[in-house]
């Protein structure tokens, strides 16, 4: 995988029977709560158990970490990996700005655009047309 490729990871989950019913708690829920900081423990005890909603992840470590937690709560989990998502090799603001506003052809030594009064007027006109 090249430096510009990325993958998305998705969880396919089969929940234990009856686990979607109100009041259901997984085996080991109380010991899990005891491992948490006091404020988080209190909040979760008050709210009760609920299955995590997030199913898509941008890193394999996050996806597998969530899968392990769900498996510890009794779910069957499979981590699926997407095909590579490929990004352009190189993109800069200046490239996009130049295509959008060709009058931005003047730059100082640090790469900052230099605007003339005419450029500023043209930009204000475009902004007005765009409703900005």
Q: What pTM did the predictor assign?
A: 0.57
- Distance between start and end Cα atoms, the chain: 41
Of residues 50, 95, 97, 53, the one with CA closest to residue 73: 50
Tell me the two tokens of residue 111: 């790469």
Examine the domain organization and report whether 61 and 122 are in the same domain.
no
pLDDT by position in tens, the chain (length 132): 455 578 899 999 999 999 988 889 998 888 888 898 999 888 888 888 888 888 888 889 999 999 998 998 899 999 999 988 876 666 565 555 545 554 444 555 555 555 555 656 666 666 666 555
Examine the domain organization and report whether 45 and 110 are in the same domain.
no
Measured CA angle at 81 (ends 79, 83), to 5 deg: 170
What whole-number distance in Å separates Cα of residue 18 and Cα of residue 4?
Answer: 43
Enclosing domain of residue 107: 93-129
What whole-number distance in Å separates Cα of residue 100 and Cα of residue 58?
Answer: 31
Examine the domain organization and report whether 75 and 112 are in the same domain.
no
Q: How many domains does the chain have?
A: 2
Examine the domain organization and report whether 78 and 19 are in the same domain.
yes
What whole-number distance in Å separates Cα of residue 131 and Cα of residue 122?
Answer: 14
């Amino acid at each position: 995988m090249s430096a510009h490729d990325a993958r998305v990871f998705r969880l396919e989950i089969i929940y234990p029977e009856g686990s979607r019913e109100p009041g259901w708690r997984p085996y080991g829920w109380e010991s899990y709560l005891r491992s948490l900081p006091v404020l988080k423990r209190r909040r979760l005890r008050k709210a009760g158990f609920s299955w995590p909603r997030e199913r898509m992840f941008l890193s394999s470590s996050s996806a597998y970490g969530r899968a392990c937690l769900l498996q510890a709560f009794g779910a069957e989990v499979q981590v699926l990996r997407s095909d590579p998502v490929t990004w352009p090799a190189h993109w800069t603001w200046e490239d996009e700005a130049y295509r959008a506003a060709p009058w931005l052809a003047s730059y100082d030594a640090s790469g900052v655009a230099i605007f003339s009064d005419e450029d500023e007027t043209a930009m204000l006109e475009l902004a007005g047309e765009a409703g900005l």
